[in-house]
Structure 1
Amino acid sequence: MTIEEFYEDFKQNLSADSGDDFIQNSFIEKMCEVISEQGTMPDAELVGYKFTQRGIAVDAFAKDSERNRYVLVIADFRNTNKIETITNTDITKSLKRLDRFVEYCGKRDFVEALEESDPVFPLARYIFENRSTISFDFILITDAKISAKVKEITPAEYDIQFAKRCEVWDIQRLFELESSGRERETLEVDFTQYMPDGIECLRTSTGDALLQSFLFVLPGGILADLYEKYGERLFEQNVRTFLQFRGKVNKGIRNTIVQQPSMFFAYNNGLSATGEEVITDDNGTRIKKITNLQIVNGGQTTASIYTAWHKEHANLDGIFVQVKLSVVDSEKVNDIVPKISEYANTQNKVNAADFFSNHPFHLRIEEFSRRLWAPAADGSPRQTHWFYERARGQYANAQTKLSKVEASRFVALNPKDQMFTKTDLAKYYLTFNAMPFLVCLGAQKAFAGASGHKGFVSIIADEWSKHCNKDGDNTSINEVWYKTVIAQAILFKALNKRLASILRDLNYGSYKSVIIPYTLARFIHEIAKTEFSFDFGKVWQAQNVADTVMDNLLEIADSITHYFMDKQTNVSEFAKRETCWQEIQNLPVTLHGTIKPFLRYKDDAKDEQRSAQQAQKDLNKIHVLQYVVEKGEQYWWKLRDWDDGKHILSPKERGVLDIACKISLGRIPSDAQAKVLVAAEKRAIEEGFYVE
């Protein structure tokens, strides 16, 4: 795909999501989501504020509490037929608008003139009260392409007073990321910026080792600066979140830094880190650069050092941190890094350790999305797939080796607007399971959890474990579960598109992302009061939302919209609280009689789920047998040879293994035998069996 084709496809998808009337907001939402996924900023909130006469504007913002930093976002959205060029003059104009916004937020009359219900009010008030103690990053997002004459984007270059860093995300940068097949942009840490010769290291791996590994000692000041510069990008693979100084571990780290810095190295366990490439000096004794450095254990150490330095102005001259670095090839990152992280994180329970993109849940949803055909919607000549991207870049990677004709066919069968991600899945699931307040926290927090609430990760991990049988087979995540969540996606997307123009006319467009989950959750909650449940299967079959259902949703959305408008409070913040959901549950709404064809008795739904669980149980058996066959008899011979010297397997397991060693002769294990063999293989791996 060329950048021109990508641009056209990108515009069409924006329009499909929200309609032409709301396409700029859809663009801002999409770009902020991408930037958040990169770890550059937390989830953003749209504010859409402009004061044209004074040259002031801000479209979105994100608060990074750990670093006491605000990221302000402004859009230069052109929506033209061809890609335009954004020049230095254009960049200056946009960044200056953000700069003037921060400047005016220092004036009491400006802040007090804002309505409290205005989305920008809490941001402006906070800046007014704390401007001298917080730092700012400015990000310009645009569907244009940066001019080749633009060499460097820094605050000094554009005479920006308040920003510490400035950044531009243009259509070229988005295209390169989306087409790279990588989950995130490459991060390169150059240690020669701190020490001209690099960081002294000890190579601990041999030439025969599967992975290269190094040990080195990192000065605390360098670690703090890296966190200041890259923030959460250093922890993309880490499964734990920093708990500030509430936990004993963090208080201990902080106290040692401040009171006994000379003992820090002795007391602290150091960091476990990974990188995809390491550049050393000619002797291999100093590390100059690390590509995609990731701290997989030591997030608390890193954040504690940074916080002590940044907030308490602690002297870090005597702070040194031991680092164990494993060099992992990019193709093996998703397989190896989770294991390193899981094994390294032993101090606290790791709830999400098994929830990387290769967790069985994600693999099962991916399998459904590739295998199950969605019925042809009205007017469509073909069935299609809903493509689940369990790891960023899968959709693009699936097309890389295809011819133009093959790629066109792939897109026709897997439409871009039917591609969904882990955070999309979280949004749909939480909305329809009575947790709209979590959805309003933002994509990343809804997925991982925040504010004392479990996120999608923990909820599904618990669900997966709860419904696993003695053999570890889960049956609750089945085809009916999958079709239901796709139907929920259809409802979410359809309401999103219909509400765009309605909320624009009410000058309430900034709150669309709040009103949608609350509307859908309230609709399902009202149905739950009856003897019926909503029949998601009919939405799956139709692949659209009936007018009668949409009319009822729009009526509920209107009630919720006016409820928020009458509150005269900051809606974005209030919507994140469970108390908001409790109030909206009591909001009077009416179910139309016309939606009755889309309701069914709750007992019928339970019967369907029981049947689906049995079907999944049978499917799991097939998958186990398929796994045994696909491994091939050579693999099973290796296990047999290994066990000859170990005697780990029981006679029964050895008997099944003998059958698997003769697959080419037509000896296929039964379902029960395949299950025995897989269990035996798992135990053998725990005892040290390994095939590269």
Structure 2
Amino acid sequence: MDDPIEFHRELLAEVRSDADAQGLITSEAFLEKMGEILDEAGELSSFTQCYHDGAFKRKPVQVDAFAWDFEDEEGSLSLVISDFHRESEPVTIGKTEANRLLSRLVQFVMASLDREYREGLEESSEAYALADLIRRCWKKIGKIKLILVTNAINKAKTDAQPVGKIGDVPVTSNVWDLGRIQRFVEAGQTREDLVIDFAEDFGEAIPVLRASDGGGPLESYIAVIPGGQLAQIYDRWGARLLEANVRSFLQARGKVNRGIRDTIVKDPAMFFSYNNGLTTTAESVEVASIGEGLFLMSAANFQIVNGGQTTASIHAVRKLAAEQLKDVYVQMKLTVVPPDRSETVVPSISQFANSQNKVNAADFFANHPFHIRMEEYSRRILAPIGDTGYREHKWFYERARGQFADERGRRSVAERKSFDAMFPKNQFFTKTDLAKFENSWRCKPHIVSFGAQKNFAELAKVIGQEWGDNDGPQFDELWFQRLIAKAIIFRNLERIVPAQLWYTGGYRANIVTYAIAKAVHDAAARDRSIDLDQTWRMQRVHVELERALLVAAEAANDVITNPPQGVRNMSEWAKKQACWAELAKRPVAYQSGFDAVLIDPDSLRAVSRDNRTARRQLNGIEAQREVVNQGGDYWSQLLAFGKSIGKLAPKEAGILQACTLLPNRVPSEKQCVAAVAIADRLEQYYDNAN
């Protein structure tokens, strides 16, 4: 959808719908939606709403949300201010107005460091907790990011602009306006056009060697970048320089590599010899011939797809021993990847590049077979009509950002109506949604509370292990159907929690994931499981399950909003294993109807076994049909080819021999399944040979 006016109307409709469903005012619903977008885009993590406005030294003070990761060694504090407009037509916002709003965030920081102002805040409020956090952690804060989110149109340059310092802490500003929101929602573009001008902004152009010729598929270069320059660039752009998957997994792994840091501090001249260097990409580059060599002048949308640990470590040393960086040099491989090829090429570059912090194939998850399989199921499997519906429909799984908008946008008006009926907007979900549903069910609400990217990274590692070397047979159609049931339960609880009398606002996301984990945990304590197959058949939540989840949600709310003594920040408390342990052990009085929505684990496993058996039988019938259709001559030729290249085991040759007897004798279903697999493999050999 290229039209920003139409996108704005859809955005407003979605925000109003969310507001009605959650009992919020529209500005709150807009901010909550933006929190999800900022988290998924990697702009920040652990987004927490925190409404406050006032005045400090006669200047306006305002903050609407913040993000602070206590495990982040970079010490990046993000402060968010929202500017929401209810007009149906998008308005514009100028640089002066944007700066006026962002300055209110600066004033809040200044006010937080003032004891009199801080102690004048309500001690139980989020504003007090944030002000106290800023005061207590001031020495740990390495950078402050000011973020303005708005549904207005802003045309000024706004991406990671340096705006000075508060004390010794550098401050940057950023604006997410309507255009940028649209680019992310429809195409996954998280950045403005990020252009790194090495010569103009960061000291000097970088000498490079061309590593590709004119006939190669991609333009590529080899370079050596000074450590000080790399640290300077990272200081400006931060983790957004890191390709999304690398960023997620670097965050999930924890602290900056101390070995890299020690080498820089103690023996900087040897860093080049010891370090594997960087693998980077850019959408376009400017390379100039100066004197006897080539120099990289600038790179557009530059991304580090391997070497994030190295980059972050060098940046950390900049604060501790900046003088050592003058002797540090880092080798860099740069590949120019056009935007239309980035989705397929960049993850492959990430996967196969050398890395000191080894990342397995499952980490590069957008193209992992698990995702591809879920995508295929979502396009094919019809959900039941249920007991309240009137037609079958499907759940749209977006494996790569922008797929839903693209699939819908390329259709005519009439086709779009049909698409909307088959794939309702409320039945669209992303990779990070999947991770949220699944980890809640796996009783990891404290992990979910870390935010979209970190939670996704944690689940990806586990799914990668479970997928193993045998292509994850457990992730079948039944698994997908139960995943949809988890989505239905999760979203229904999101909708009804705000309407409860005990809910006083805030922490809805934490309450929902904790409540689901609690219900699953308590069902397991009874040696039972929640009947997901019932939810799939009904396409809604059974009333008794809804009641049980609300009981669990009330207990979750009590635990989250009453942290132990000495803990003031409830969002940070929700991220701790201790918070989940506290809720898990708390007795909860469910109504007797809870048992009606539980199922014996043996019965659950029996359904899975029956499903797999039925699928194997169906596959056998289909394979037998294909073997018969090919005819005996085809199998005779394939057998001869396999023997000629020495790629058949004796057992495989015997199976193909059985197929050559057609039509006089038909092989068994099991033989046919194996024969089709052998044929696929041998045909690949034939294609490669020719």
TM bin (shorter chain): 0.7 to 0.9
Letter in 1 for 2:132: R
Aligned with residue 487 of structure 2, among 489, 501, 508: 489
Q: How does 1:603-614 map to 2 (within 5 A)?
A: 603-614=602-613
- Tell me if the contact between 2:245 and 2:364 (Cα under 8 Å) persists in the aligned partners: no
One-letter amino acid of the structure 2 residue matched with residue 588 of structure 1: P
Are the aligned partners of 1:242 and 1:303 in contact in 2 as well (CA < 8 Å)?
Answer: no
Tell me the CA shift for residue 273 of structure 1: 2.0
What is the aligned residue count?
A: 656
Q: Is structure 2 residue 65 aligned with structure 1 residue 60?
A: yes
2:302 & 2:441 partners in 1: Cα distance?
38
Counterpart amino acid of 1:484?
Answer: R
| Residue of structure 1 equivalent to 2:632 | none
Change (3 A) 1:527 1:673: same
Tell me the residue number matched to 1:561. 557
Q: More deviation in 337-346 or 210-219? A: 337-346
Query: Who is 1:33 aligned against?
Result: 36
Any conservation in 2 of the 1:200–1:285 contact (CA below 8 Å)? Answer: yes
Deviation at 1:97, TM superposition (A): 2.0
1:13 alignment partner AA: E
Pick from 77, 91, 96 the counterpart of residue 84 of structure 2: 77
Equivalent residue letter for 1:555: V
Q: Do structure 1's residue 241 and structure 2's residue 250 form an aligned pair?
A: yes
Tell me the residue number matched to 2:662: none
AA aligned to 2:513 is P
Match of 1:21 in 2: 23
Q: What is the SS of the residue equivalent to 2:335?
A: strand
Q: Deviations over 1:335-380 (max 9, x none)?
A: 3333332332354542454542111111111111111112335664
Measured after TM superposition, the shift of residue 530 of structure 1 is: 2.4
Q: Match for residue 12 of structure 2?
A: 11
> Map of 1:315-464 to 2, 5 A cutoff?
315-345=324-354, 347-351=356-360, 353=362, 355-376=364-385, 380-448=389-457, 455-464=458-467
How far, CA to CA, are the matches of 2:252 and 2:607 in structure 1? 42
Which secondary structure does the structure 2 equivalent of 1:399 belong to?
helix
Deviation, structure 1 residue 5: 2.6
Cα drift, residue 104 of structure 1: 0.7
**Contact 1:205–1:211, Cα closer than 8 Å, also in 2:** yes
Structure 2 residue runs without a partner (length 5+)? 628-634, 660-666
Which range moves more in the overlay, 649-658 or 211-220? 649-658
Contact 2:362 2:464 in 1 (8 A): no
CA contact (8 A) 2:187 2:401 kept: no
Aligned equivalent of 1:139, options 135, 143, 147: 147
Q: 1:157 Cα deviation (Å)? A: 8.0
Query: Which has the larger displacement, 488-497 or 4-13?
Result: 4-13
Q: What residue is the counterpart of 1:292 in the other structure?
A: 301
- How far does the alpha carbon of each residue in 1:526-577 deviate from its partner, in whole angstroms, 9 at most, with x for none? 2222253221122222222233432332233223323444446432122211
Distance 1:558 1:192 in 2: 57
CA contact (8 A) 1:138 1:163 kept: no
What's the secondary structure of 2:533's corresponding residue? Answer: helix
Is 1:206 aligned to residue 244 of structure 2?
Answer: no
Task: Tell me if 1:586 matches 2:585.
Answer: yes
Are residues 1:274 and 2:272 paired?
A: no
- 1:604–1:153 distance in 2 versus 1, CA, 3 Å: closer
State the Cα distance separating 1:302 from its structure 2 match.
1.2
CA distance in 2 between partners of 1:238 and 1:8 (Å): 32
Over the residues paired in the alignment, what is the CA RMSD in angstroms? 4.0
Take 1:235 and 1:157, find their aligned partners in 2: how far apart are those partners?
23
Contact kept, 8 Å, 1:275 with 1:294, in 2: the verdict is yes
Q: TM-score, normalised by structure 2?
A: 0.84
SS across alignment from 1:241: helix
- C-alpha distance 185-374 of structure 1, shift in aligned 2 (>3 A): farther
| In 2, Cα distance between equivalents of 1:111 and 1:67 | 25
* Contact residue 47 and residue 61 of structure 1 kept, 8 A: yes
Runs of at least 5 residues in structure 1 that lack an aligned partner in the other structure: 449-454, 629-635, 661-667
Give the TM-score normalised by the residue count of structure 1: 0.84
What percent identity do the matched residue pairs reach?
A: 36
Q: Specify the code of the residue in structure 2 equivalent to 1:610.
A: R
> Aligned partners of 2:481, 2:208: CA distance in 1, in Å?
52
Q: Report SS of the residue matched to 1:74.
A: strand
Relative distance call for 1:297 and 1:372 in structure 2 (3 A) is same
Q: What's 2:53 paired with?
A: 50
Residues 251 and 594 of structure 1, relative CA distance in 2, 3 Å threshold: closer
Q: Tell me the CA shift for residue 254 of structure 1.
A: 2.2
The verdict on how the C-alpha distance between 1:154 and 1:299 changes in structure 2, with shifts beyond 3 A counting, is closer
Map Cα deviations across residues 268-294 of structure 1 (whole Å, 9 max, x no partner): 222222233333236882223323322
Partner of 1:633 in structure 2?
none
Distance 2:164 2:97 in 1: 11
CA distance in 2, matches of 1:185, 1:525: 44
Q: Structure 1, residues 441-460: CA drift from partner, whole Å, max 9, x if none?
A: 11111111xxxxxx211221
Matched to 1:591, the amino acid is Y
Distance 1:235 1:487 in 2: 34
Equivalent residue for 1:477?
475
Contact 1:217 1:322 in 2 (8 A): yes
Contact 1:181 1:392 in 2 (8 A): yes
1:516 to 506, 512, 515: 512
Deviates more, 1:202-211 or 1:510-519: 202-211
Residue 200 of structure 1: SS of its match in structure 2?
strand
Paired letter, 1:140: L
State the alpha-carbon separation in 1 of the partners of residues 171 and 339 from structure 2.
32
Moved more, 518-527 or 362-371: 518-527
CA displacement at 1:648 relative to structure 2: 6.1
| Structure-2 separation of matches of 1:671 and 1:153 | 55
Residue type matched to 1:5 in 2?
Answer: E
CA–CA separation in structure 1 for the residues paired with 2:509 and 2:613: 37
- CA distance in 1 between counterparts of 2:178 and 2:100 reads 18
Matches within 5 A, 1:58-207: 58-63=63-68, 65-88=72-95, 90-114=97-121, 117-131=124-138, 134-146=142-154, 164-180=171-187, 182=189, 186-194=193-201, 198-207=205-214
CA contact (8 A) 1:328 1:336 kept: yes
SS in 1 for 2:408: coil
Q: Give the Cα separation in 1 of the matches to 2:570 and 2:512.
A: 13
Contact 1:144 1:171 survives alignment (8 Å):
yes
2:673 equivalent in structure 1: 671
Contact 2:79 2:105 in 1 (8 A): yes
Q: What is the SS of the residue equivalent to 1:223?
A: helix
Q: Deviations over 1:567-608 (max 9, x none)?
A: 464321222112211211222222223344423332211101
Distance 1:526 1:79 in 2: 44
Paired amino acid for 2:151: D
Alpha-carbon distance in structure 1 between the residues aligned to 2:648 and 2:162? 71
Secondary structure at 2:443 match in 1 = coil
Match of residue 222 from structure 1: 229
Tell me, what secondary structure is at the counterpart of 2:51? strand
Judged with a 3 Å threshold, the aligned counterparts in structure 2 of structure 1 residues 434 and 251 are, in CA distance, closer, same or farther, namely closer
Residue identity in the other structure for 2:147? I
Name the SS for the 1:591 alignment partner.
Answer: coil
Q: Is the 8 A contact 2:619 2:673 kept in 1?
A: no
Q: Are 2:304 and 1:308 equivalent residues in the alignment?
A: no
Distance 1:621 1:545, change over 3 A: same
